[in-house]
């Protein structure tokens, strides 16, 4: 589904301060084939204006971010293809991070690498979710504390997820909301 043939849906998104794996997330991890079929039928076929799709995309994004914040990597990436590609912000690549990480093992390596810098205090607070049909944009605030210095760090982060059959196949991260929006043909 292309951006031209679908309406753009923008919705606020927030995560809970504390969370654990809910039943549907545990089932997604235990029965990935069922989760793939659900994603293909609901997210892959319904337009962004569908309330069912909106609920599925919003809930999946919220649960994925909550899992990320508690460092539950398997649950965080369970809404993506098994072999998805994650591209960190270019600023990370410029200081030595790999330009891309593939699948759960790759994403786990990425999380481990930045954990050495930020420690356990890094937290992503989503602000808005934008569904373009074939892509989903997540705009968020970023809070962290330097591992060595202990100094607080705040900023923004955004991801653009390309979808195939209702699941993320490529996720690109940006430290600038405007840059992410420009990447998908939108402006703030």
The model's pLDDT over 51-80, given as tens digits with 9 standing for 90+, comes to 999 999 999 999 999 999 998 999 999 988
Residue 4 lies in a domain: no
Residue 6, token pair as written in the block: 């679908």
Residue 188 lies in a domain: no
How many domains is the chain built from?
A: 1
DSSP helix/strand/coil, 67: helix
CATH number where 103 lies: 3.10.450.50
pLDDT > 90 fraction of the chain, expressed in percent and rounded: 67
* Domain housing 30: 9-183
**pTM summary value:** 0.89
DSSP helix/strand/coil, 58: helix
Please list the residues that pair with 170 across neighbouring strands.
Answer: 85, 162
Helix, strand, coil share (%) of the chain residues, nearest 5 = 40, 30, 30
d(CA 30, CA 13): 26
Least confident of 30-34, 63-67, 113-117, 182-186: 113-117
Residue 148 has pLDDT above 80, yes or no: no
Residue 73 lies in a domain: yes
Residue 31 lies in a domain: yes
């Amino acid at each position: 589904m292309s951006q031209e043939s679908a309406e753009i849906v923008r919705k606020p998104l927030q995560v809970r301060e504390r969370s654990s794996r809910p039943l549907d997330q545990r089932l997604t991890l235990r029965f990935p084939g069922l989760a793939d079929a659900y994603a293909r039928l609901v997210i892959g076929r319904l337009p962004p204006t569908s309330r069912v799709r909106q609920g599925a995309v919003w809930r999946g994004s919220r649960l994925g971010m909550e899992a990320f914040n508690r460092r539950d990597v398997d649950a965080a990436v369970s809404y993506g293809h098994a072999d998805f590609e994650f591209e960190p912000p270019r600023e990370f690549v410029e200081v030595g991070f790999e330009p891309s990480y593939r699948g759960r093992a790759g994403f786990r390596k990425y999380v481990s690498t930045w954990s050495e810098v930020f420690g356990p205090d890094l937290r992503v607070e989503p602000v808005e979710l934008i569904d373009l049909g074939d892509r989903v944009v997540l705009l968020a605030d970023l809070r962290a504390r330097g591992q060595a210095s202990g100094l607080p760090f705040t900023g923004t982060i955004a991801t653009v997820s390309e979808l195939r059959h209702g699941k993320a196949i490529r996720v690109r991260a940006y430290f600038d909301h405007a840059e992410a929006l420009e990447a998908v043909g939108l402006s703030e």
